[in-house]
Amino acid sequence: MSTKKPVVFVTRKLPDPVETRMMELFDARLNVADKALSREDLIGAVQSADVLVPTVTDRVDAQIIAEAAPRLKLIASFGTGIDHIDLAAASERGITVTNTPGVLTEDTADMTMALILSVPRRLGEGERLLRAGKWTGWAPNFMLGRRIWGKRLGILGMGRIGTAVARRARGFGLSIHYHNRNRVAEDTEAELEATYWESLDQMLAHMDIVSVNCPHTPATYHLLSGRRLKLMQPSAYVVNTSRGEVVDEEVLVQMLRDGELSGAGLDVYEHEPKVNPELLALDNVVLLPHIGSATLEGRIDMGEKVLINIRTFFDGHRPPDRVLPQLL
């Protein structure tokens, strides 16, 4: 490896231990102000760095990649999702892309389970009522929610996170159902007592709660389409901690407003950080600001993966979390 440290451009502020190590190992250009970069800023970054470390909010599209200097050899994304990077454009330029899989599984599954509990029991609505000073005391029919014990949970996407959600949900007495591109291993199915549905349409029609845990790709855009949402029972709930683009949000809002669905728990939105104003006006939803993976431990683990990917790449070896060129 060359004795000259590679220039690493980091688009957002990372946890202090990660940034300290980044500065020790590389010629790191940090975003101390932690402000989202403009397109012009991103173009400047890819023209001046050997490595770009973007986050899920940075749209590294084909036009930005086309502006990259020949020295840019690695995009080491801080996050699991890669839908914000144009992989085809990166491949054409011979740029390696890495991500940080696996470290956020338990944190995101915890948040998913929290929403599964919160929405049927109307926790968000109750908290808002209490803070507004409108609680007048206990009454037999006050704030009646729905029991989750014995209900059917349909998991859309039975990968690492979906499986971790299923393990938690079993402890709360939910029966596990799932739809996935491929059926999971027999021993996993047996452990979770999970029922596989080859037809997503049929699964949706029979579930009490649907949890969206698949990644956003061109194939999963609006996978939970308006037509499919209409298949669900009016008593059912939707929980999404994956990506907002997987769900047709406009139809979801309309159904929640009109009583065609009982409620929703959302940590992600189709046009985030913008949130549909109609969602904000609904009582039967719990809304979170994309914090499913937001733990200090998780963010540090992500940073460590980024560091390892960069070091391994510049040591002349294959980074452990490479998504390009192997996926194309």
Per-residue model confidence (pLDDT) at position 186: 96
Per-residue model confidence (pLDDT) at position 2: 52
Smallest CA-to-CA distance from 116 within 290, 286, 295, 291 is with 286
Of 228, 243, 299, 322, which is the active-site residue? 243
Per-residue model confidence (pLDDT) at position 3: 67
Read off the tokens for 52: 């770009």
Q: How many CB atoms lie within 10 A of CB 297?
A: 11
Per-residue model confidence (pLDDT) at position 324: 80
Mean pLDDT of the chain: 96
Residue listed under structure tokens 């709930």: 237
- Give the pairing type, strands 175-179 and 322-324: unpaired
Cα separation, 4 vs 236, whole angstroms: 58
Smallest CA-to-CA distance from 109 within 173, 168, 159, 54 is with 168
Note if 121 is an active site residue.
Answer: no
- Give the pairing type, strands 51-53 and 7-10: parallel
CATH 3.40.50.720 maps onto the chain at 7-103+295-324, 105-287
Note if 290 is an active site residue.
Answer: yes
For the beta sheet containing 263-266, the strands, ordered from the edge strand earlier in sequence to the opposite edge, are 195-196, 175-179, 152-156, 209-212, 237-240, 263-266, 285-287
Read off the tokens for 18: 């990660």
Cα separation, 91 vs 193, whole angstroms: 41
Of 160, 290, 304, 311, which is the active-site residue? 290
Ranges in the chain, pLDDT < 50: 1, 327-328
Helix (H, G, I), strand (E, B) or coil at 109: helix
The radius of gyration of the chain's CA atoms, rounded to the nearest angstrom, is 22
CB 77 within 8 A of CB 52: no
Which CATH number does 105-287 carry? 3.40.50.720
Per-residue model confidence (pLDDT) at position 1: 43
> C-alpha distances in angstroms, 133 versus 31, 119, 279?
42, 21, 23
- Burial pattern 262-287, b for ≥16 Cβ within 10 A else e, equals bbbbbbbbbebeebbeebeeeebbbb
Is the preceding omega at residue 325 within 30 degrees of 0, hence cis? yes
The one-letter amino acid code at 180 reads N
Cα separation, 115 vs 238, whole angstroms: 9
Is the preceding omega at residue 273 within 30 degrees of 0, hence cis? yes
CB 169 within 8 A of CB 176: yes
Of 67, 272, 278, 304, which is the active-site residue? 272
pTM (2 decimals)? 0.89
Choosing among 1.20.1050.10, 3.30.1360.30, 3.30.43.10, 3.40.50.720, the CATH entry for 7-103+295-324 is: 3.40.50.720
Note if 272 is an active site residue.
Answer: yes
Per-residue model confidence (pLDDT) at position 326: 65
